[in-house]
Structure 1
Amino acid sequence: MELRPNDNNNLPLTRFESMLKTNHVLFFDSEEFENIIHHYLNQGKIALAKKAIKLGLSQHPTSTNLKLFKVEIYVFENNLDKADALINELYVIEPQNEEIYIQKANILSKRDNHEMAIKVLKQSLNLTEDVVDIYSLIGMEYLFLDKFEEAKNYFMKCLEADLQDYSALHNMIYCFEFLGQHDEAISYLNTFLDNNPYCEVAWHQLGKQYFELKDYNKALAAFDFAIISDDTFIGAYLEKGKVLEKLKRYQDAIETYSITLQLDDPTSFALLRMGTCYEKLKNVDLAVQYYKKTVQEDPLLDKGWIAITKFYIKKRNYKKSLYYINKAINIDSENVLYWKLYAQINERLSFLEEAERGYKKALELGNYELNTWLTRGDILLKIGEHEAAVYNFLQAAEFYPENAEIEFRLAGLYYTMHETEKGSYHLKNGLRFNPEYALIIEELFPNVYSKNQVKTILKAKL
C-alpha cells in the first residue's frame, strides 16, 4: 500500500519514526496509521507495528481497521483467545465487514478447525465484490484438509475471475498432480492457454505435465512456447534442458543451460547439469570443470559433491574421490550420503578401519538399510572385531527380524567365539528363514563350516 504524503510533503512513515525518537506525540489520521502498520507488517517489524497500533488506537479508539490489525498481531503471536474475543466484539459492531470474517476464519484455521473456517469464508463471499482472495483462502483451507478436489475447484474459480492469478494456477496444478490427474491438468492448461496464449507460467506448467508423462517432444514444445512468451524465464530454460537430456541431446542441453548463466547469476543446478552432460559426451575436462564450479557456487549442495566424487569413482581414481568426499564431510558432517560414499571409497582402498567408521556414522545418522548393516559387520569380522560385529548384527536383527543373511552371520561369529549354543540357535534360524543363504557360513567362516556339528545341522536342514 502506497503511503500518501501529508500537507508538509513528508511521508507519514518518516514523521512517525521521527516522533519515536522524541517525546512529542504527533497526530496522524487513521488511514495514515493503517499505511504505517501495513508497511511494518510487510517488513516483518512486529514491534514497530505494535507501537503504531497502540498509538493509533489511542488517537482513533473506534477504528475497526486498526483493531483488525491488533487481531492480526494476536494471531501472529498465537494469542488466539484474545484474538477471538476482539473479533467477536468487532462482529457485534460491524456484522457486514468482510475483513472480520476473514480474520475469524484465520483464527479458526490456526486452531485447525478448517471446516468451520471454510464455512465462515463462504459467508464472507456475500459481503464482498472482490471474491478472488476469498476463493484462494477457501482453497487453502481445503488443502489443509487434504481435500484436493474441492481445493482445485476453488483455485479454478480464482483463475476464472483473474487470469493473472499465477499463485492460484500453481496451487491448482499441485492439486491435479497430487490426484495423479496429469491428463486432466493438460486438458485444463490447453483450454486456459486458448484464452491466454502468452502465459509463460501456463506453458511452463504444461511442459512439466508432459514431462511427467514422459511425452518429451510435447514437453519440449511447451517449454519453447514458455520461452517465446518470456525469453528471460530461467525456469523454462532449466526444464527444457532436462527434457533435452532425456532425449540424449546433450550438446543442445548444455547450450540451453548456458543461456541461464547469461540471464542471471549462475545456479548450481545448471552448472551441475552441464557437468553431467559433458560427462555423457565423454568430455572429461569440461565435466570436472563444471562439477568444480557447482561446489564453488553452492558448497552445501550435496548433489554437486556426490557428482564429482562418483565421477572419480567411475575413473577408479579412489584417492581423488576420497579427497572430494572429505571436503564435503568437512562442510556437512551430518550428511548420510557423504558417509556412505566415504565408507565405500575407503573399502575399495582397503582402508577397512576408516570404511567401518563411515558405515557406523551412516547408521548413527539413520541410514538403516540392510546392506549398511551387513557391510559394516563384514568389515568388523575382517578386522577381528568379533564382539562389535555381533552387536552390529543384533542391532540389525531388530530392524530386519527373520533375516537369514543376518542369522547366518551371527551363527558364524558365535561359533568363532566358541559360543556353540548361540551359534547353533542362529544357524537353525537362518536355515528356517532361508536356507539358500547357508553358503555365507562356507564363504565367510570356512573354519566354522568345517566343524562336524555345523555340517550335521546343515545336512539335516538342507
Structure 2
Amino acid sequence: MKQQNELNDSLNTSVKQPYPDDIPLSLYLQWPFIKIGRSVKSMVNGYKKLFMLEGEDLKTMYLKKARAADLRGETTKCIKFMQVLTSKYPDDSDIFYQLGIAYEKAGQFGAARQAYIQTAEINPESVKAHYRTGIIYIREREFENAIAALNQALQLEPQSAEIQFRLGQAYDRIKDYEKAIAYFKKAVALNPNLIQAYKNMALTYDSMDDHKKALDCLKRVLELEEAGA
C-alpha cells in the first residue's frame, strides 16, 4: 500500500499542469488572436505612416524606389513609381524628365518624347528636355521637329558641341548639306575631339561629291582614334 502511494505521488509530480495556475486559461485561448491583432495593428500603423508622408519625404521615398528598381533592371516598376510621382507633383519638371529617361530605357520612345515635352512646358529653360526631344525626333525620322527642338536647346546653351552636332545630323537627313556642314564645323570647333562629328561630316561631304574633304575628315578620325580620344 505504501509503495502504491509513492507511485501515485511520483506520477502526480511528473505530470505538468497544462497552464500555470496564475494565468487564466482564457488568455491562452485568446493568445493567437492577440498576436494576429498586433500584426494587423502594425500593418495599419505602417499604412498610416505611409499616407501621412508628405512633401519631400514622400517624393524621396518614391525616388528611392524608382532608382532601386532601375538598378535592378526592373524598368516597368521604375516607370510605375515615376508615374505616381508625376501624379502627385504635376509641376515638377525634373520628375517628368526622369520619367522620360525611364521610358527611353524601356524602348517606349513616343511616351518618352511626351514626358520630355511636358518637362519643357513646365520649365521652358530645360536644355536637356529640348535636347532629348530632338534626339527622339531624329530617331523617329521627324527631322523638322528635331531641328525645332534642338534649336530651342541651342538658344539656351549655344556653346554645346553636342547640340551643334545633332543639328548637323538633322540637316544632313533632309539633305540640306550646307547647313549640316556648318553645324558639324561648329561642333568640332567647340570640341576638336568629337569623333562622331568628323565621321558624319565625312559622309555629308561624300554626299556632296566632295571626296577630298571627306577623306580629310576620315584622316582626322583615324588620328583621334589612334590618340585614344
Q: Same fold (TM over 0.5)?
A: yes
Tell me whether 1:198 sits opposite 2:105 in the alignment: no
Tell me whether 1:268 sits opposite 2:164 in the alignment: no
Distance 2:143 2:66 in 1: 29
Query: Residue 192 of structure 2: SS of its match in structure 1?
Result: coil
Over 3 Å counting, the alpha-carbon distance change for 1:334 and 1:173 in structure 2 is farther
Residue 225 of structure 1 aligns with which residue? 118
Over 3 Å counting, the alpha-carbon distance change for 1:303 and 1:203 in structure 2 is same
Distance 2:98 2:206 in 1: 37
Of structures 1 and 2, the one scoring higher in RCO (CA 8 A, sep 6+) is 2
Larger displacement relative to structure 2 (175-184 or 267-276): 175-184
Tell me whether 1:161 sits opposite 2:161 in the alignment: no
Contact 2:206–2:214 (Cα < 8 Å) also in 1: yes
Over 3 Å counting, the alpha-carbon distance change for 1:314 and 1:231 in structure 2 is same
Residue 194 of structure 2 aligns with which residue? 301
Q: Where does the alignment leave 5 or more consecutive residues of structure 1 unmatched? A: 1-156, 337-462
Which residue identity does 1:161 align to in structure 2?
Answer: D
2:150 to 246, 257, 262: 257
Tell me whether 1:236 sits opposite 2:108 in the alignment: no
Over 3 Å counting, the alpha-carbon distance change for 1:177 and 1:333 in structure 2 is same
Tell me whether 1:246 sits opposite 2:139 in the alignment: yes
Computing the radius of gyration over CA atoms, which structure comes out larger, 1 or 2? Answer: 2
Tell me whether 1:183 sits opposite 2:79 in the alignment: no
Contact 2:66–2:77 (Cα < 8 Å) also in 1: no
Q: Where does the alignment leave 5 or more consecutive residues of structure 2 unmatched? A: 1-52
Over 3 Å counting, the alpha-carbon distance change for 1:175 and 1:330 in structure 2 is same
Q: Structure 2 matches for 1:203-218, cutoff 5 A?
A: 203-218=96-111
- TM-score w.r.t. the length of structure 2 is 0.67
Distance 1:280 1:319 in 2: 21
Query: Residue 269 of structure 1: SS of its match in structure 2?
Result: helix
Distance 1:275 1:173 in 2: 35
Contact 1:277–1:287 (Cα < 8 Å) also in 2: yes
| Identity between Structure 1 and Structure 2 (%) | 19
Over 3 Å counting, the alpha-carbon distance change for 1:174 and 1:321 in structure 2 is farther
- TM-score w.r.t. the length of structure 1 is 0.35
- Superposition RMSD in Å: 2.8
Per-residue deviation at 1:203? 0.4
Larger displacement relative to structure 2 (242-251 or 173-182): 173-182
Which residue identity does 1:326 align to in structure 2?
Answer: K
Query: Residue 320 of structure 1: SS of its match in structure 2?
Result: helix
